[in-house]
Chains A and B, each alone.
Chain A
Amino acid sequence: AQKVTQAQTEISVVEKEDVTLDCVYETRDTTYYLFWYKQPPSGELVFLIRRNSFDEQNEISGRYSWNFQKSTSSFNFTITASQVVDSAVYFCALRMNRDDKIIFGKGTRLHILP
Chain B
Amino acid sequence: DTGVSQDPRHKITKRGQNVTFRCDPISEHNRLYWYRQTLGQGPEFLTYFQNEAQLEKSRLLSDRFSAERPKGSFSTLEIQRTEQGDSAMYLCASSLRQGGSGANVLTFGAGSRLTVL
Is A45's CB within 8 Å of the partner chain B?
A: yes
In the complex, chain A residues 85-114 whose Cβ is within 8 Å of any chain B Cβ: 91, 93, 95, 97, 100-107
Give bound CA distance, A31 to B89, whole Å.
Answer: 31
Residues of A within 8 Å of B106, CB to CB, are: 45, 47, 102
B residues engaging A (CB < 8 A)? Answer: 31, 33, 40-45, 48, 55-56, 89, 91, 93, 97, 101-103, 105-111
Q: A100-B31, A102-B45 provided; 17 other pairs, C-beta below 8 A?
A: A4-B42, A33-B103, A44-B109, A47-B106, A47-B107, A50-B103, A91-B42, A93-B42, A100-B48, A100-B55, A100-B56, A101-B33, A101-B48, A101-B56, A105-B42, A107-B40, A107-B42
Known pairs A33-B103, A50-B103, A52-B103; A44 contacts B111 (CB<8 A): yes
Report the separation of the CA atoms of residues A33 and B97 in the bound assembly, to the nearest whole angstrom. Answer: 15
Task: Using A43-B111, A44-B111, A47-B107 as known contacts, say yes or no to A106 and B43 having CB atoms under 8 A apart.
Answer: no
- Name the distance in Å between A32's Cβ and chain B's nearest Cβ: 8
Are A44 and B48 closer than 8 Å at their CB atoms? no
Determine whether A71 belongs to the interface, using a CB cutoff of 8 Å to chain B.
no
> Which residue of chain B is the closest to A10 with respect to CB atoms?
B40
Determine the residue in chain B with the shortest Cβ distance to A91. B42
How many of chain A's residues touch chain B, expressed as a range? Answer: 20 to 34
Instruction: Indicate if A42 sits at the interface (CB-CB under 8 A).
Output: yes
Whether A106 touches B111, Cβ cut-off 8 Å, given contacts A100-B48, A101-B56, is no
CB-defined contacts of B102 to chain A, threshold 8 Å: 52
Residues of chain B within 8 A (CB-CB) of A4 are 42
A47, A91, A95: the one within 8 Å of B43 (CB): A91
CB distance from B100 to the nearest CB of A (A): 11
Shortest 10 CB-CB contacts between residues of A and residues of B:
A104-B42, A33-B103, A45-B108, A44-B110, A101-B45, A106-B42, A104-B43, A95-B103, A107-B42, A91-B42
